[in-house]
Amino acid sequence: MRAVPVALLTVTLAGSLAACGGSPAKQTVAVTATDTACQVADTQLSGPGIYAFKVTNKGDQTTEVYVYTHDGKKVEEVEHIGPGTSRTLKAKLAAGDYQVACKPGEKGDGIRTDIHVR
Protein backbone atom coordinates (compact mmCIF):
# COMPACT_ATOMS: atom_id res chain seq x y z
CA MET A 1 0.00 0.00 0.00
CA ARG A 2 2.91 2.33 0.62
CA ALA A 3 4.43 1.30 -2.64
CA VAL A 4 1.95 3.29 -4.70
CA PRO A 5 2.70 6.85 -3.56
CA VAL A 6 6.37 6.10 -3.11
CA ALA A 7 6.61 4.78 -6.66
CA LEU A 8 4.61 7.77 -7.86
CA LEU A 9 6.91 10.19 -6.09
CA THR A 10 10.06 8.45 -7.24
CA VAL A 11 8.94 8.28 -10.85
CA THR A 12 7.83 11.91 -10.86
CA LEU A 13 11.06 13.11 -9.30
CA ALA A 14 13.28 10.90 -11.40
CA GLY A 15 11.52 12.15 -14.51
CA SER A 16 11.85 15.74 -13.44
CA LEU A 17 15.50 15.34 -12.51
CA ALA A 18 16.27 13.62 -15.78
CA ALA A 19 14.51 16.37 -17.70
CA CYS A 20 17.17 18.90 -16.88
CA GLY A 21 19.44 16.95 -14.56
CA GLY A 22 23.16 17.08 -14.78
CA SER A 23 23.25 19.93 -17.23
CA PRO A 24 26.30 21.98 -16.28
CA ALA A 25 25.87 25.71 -16.19
CA LYS A 26 27.63 27.82 -18.78
CA GLN A 27 28.53 30.40 -16.16
CA THR A 28 27.88 31.08 -12.49
CA VAL A 29 26.66 34.58 -11.67
CA ALA A 30 26.80 35.73 -8.07
CA VAL A 31 23.72 37.53 -6.77
CA THR A 32 24.00 39.25 -3.41
CA ALA A 33 20.63 39.95 -1.83
CA THR A 34 20.04 42.15 1.19
CA ASP A 35 16.88 43.69 2.66
CA THR A 36 17.31 46.76 0.45
CA ALA A 37 19.53 45.75 -2.46
CA CYS A 38 20.03 43.07 -5.06
CA GLN A 39 23.46 43.02 -6.67
CA VAL A 40 23.96 40.95 -9.80
CA ALA A 41 27.70 40.47 -10.38
CA ASP A 42 27.44 40.22 -14.15
CA THR A 43 24.63 41.82 -16.16
CA GLN A 44 26.08 41.30 -19.65
CA LEU A 45 26.07 37.58 -20.32
CA SER A 46 27.85 36.10 -23.30
CA GLY A 47 25.61 33.87 -25.34
CA PRO A 48 22.56 31.68 -24.77
CA GLY A 49 22.78 28.75 -22.37
CA ILE A 50 22.14 27.64 -18.82
CA TYR A 51 23.21 30.16 -16.23
CA ALA A 52 23.55 29.43 -12.53
CA PHE A 53 22.67 32.39 -10.33
CA LYS A 54 24.20 31.78 -6.93
CA VAL A 55 22.07 33.86 -4.60
CA THR A 56 23.47 34.72 -1.19
CA ASN A 57 21.07 36.29 1.27
CA LYS A 58 22.99 38.75 3.42
CA GLY A 59 19.88 40.48 4.73
CA ASP A 60 17.82 39.80 7.84
CA GLN A 61 14.67 38.85 5.94
CA THR A 62 13.91 35.69 4.04
CA THR A 63 14.07 36.37 0.34
CA GLU A 64 13.17 34.83 -2.99
CA VAL A 65 14.67 35.44 -6.41
CA TYR A 66 13.01 35.39 -9.81
CA VAL A 67 14.28 35.70 -13.36
CA TYR A 68 11.76 37.32 -15.69
CA THR A 69 11.72 37.85 -19.44
CA HIS A 70 11.61 41.48 -20.61
CA ASP A 71 7.81 41.26 -20.89
CA GLY A 72 7.42 40.05 -17.31
CA LYS A 73 7.04 36.31 -17.80
CA LYS A 74 8.71 34.20 -15.10
CA VAL A 75 11.59 32.06 -16.34
CA GLU A 76 12.71 30.57 -13.01
CA GLU A 77 12.45 31.19 -9.29
CA VAL A 78 13.93 30.10 -5.98
CA GLU A 79 11.88 30.57 -2.82
CA HIS A 80 12.67 30.39 0.90
CA ILE A 81 16.23 31.71 0.88
CA GLY A 82 16.79 32.19 4.61
CA PRO A 83 19.08 34.90 6.02
CA GLY A 84 22.71 33.81 5.79
CA THR A 85 22.05 31.00 3.32
CA SER A 86 22.73 30.55 -0.39
CA ARG A 87 20.67 28.93 -3.10
CA THR A 88 21.38 28.43 -6.77
CA LEU A 89 18.85 29.30 -9.42
CA LYS A 90 19.51 27.72 -12.79
CA ALA A 91 17.87 29.26 -15.81
CA LYS A 92 18.12 28.48 -19.48
CA LEU A 93 18.37 31.83 -21.22
CA ALA A 94 18.18 32.63 -24.93
CA ALA A 95 19.63 35.83 -26.33
CA GLY A 96 17.63 38.82 -25.16
CA ASP A 97 16.75 41.01 -22.21
CA TYR A 98 15.80 39.69 -18.77
CA GLN A 99 15.28 40.94 -15.24
CA VAL A 100 16.56 39.47 -12.00
CA ALA A 101 14.26 40.29 -9.07
CA CYS A 102 15.07 39.81 -5.37
CA LYS A 103 12.03 39.92 -3.10
CA PRO A 104 13.07 40.55 0.50
CA GLY A 105 10.29 39.43 2.85
CA GLU A 106 8.98 37.21 0.01
CA LYS A 107 6.55 39.84 -1.19
CA GLY A 108 6.01 42.55 -3.77
CA ASP A 109 7.50 43.09 -7.22
CA GLY A 110 11.03 42.91 -5.94
CA ILE A 111 14.20 44.87 -6.54
CA ARG A 112 14.91 44.40 -10.22
CA THR A 113 18.11 44.43 -12.23
CA ASP A 114 18.19 44.33 -16.02
CA ILE A 115 20.45 41.73 -17.56
CA HIS A 116 21.24 41.09 -21.19
CA VAL A 117 22.22 37.88 -22.93
CA ARG A 118 24.12 38.51 -26.18
Give residues 13-32 in contact with other proteins (rule: CB under 8 A).
Answer: 13, 16-17, 19-24
Based on the shown chain and the rule CB under 8 A, indicate whether residue 82 belongs to the binding site for other proteins. yes
Q: Strand, helix or coil at 70?
A: coil
CA dihedral 89, 67, 30, 44 (to 10 degrees): 130
Q: How far apart are CA 44 and CA 97, in angstroms?
A: 10
- Which secondary-structure segment (H or E) carries 59? none
Based on the shown chain and the rule CB under 8 A, indicate whether residue 83 belongs to the binding site for other proteins. yes
Based on the shown chain and the rule CB under 8 A, indicate whether residue 84 belongs to the binding site for other proteins. yes
Residues engaged in binding other proteins (CB under 8 A): 1-2, 4-6, 9-10, 12-13, 16-17, 19-24, 60-62, 74, 76-87, 89-90, 105-108
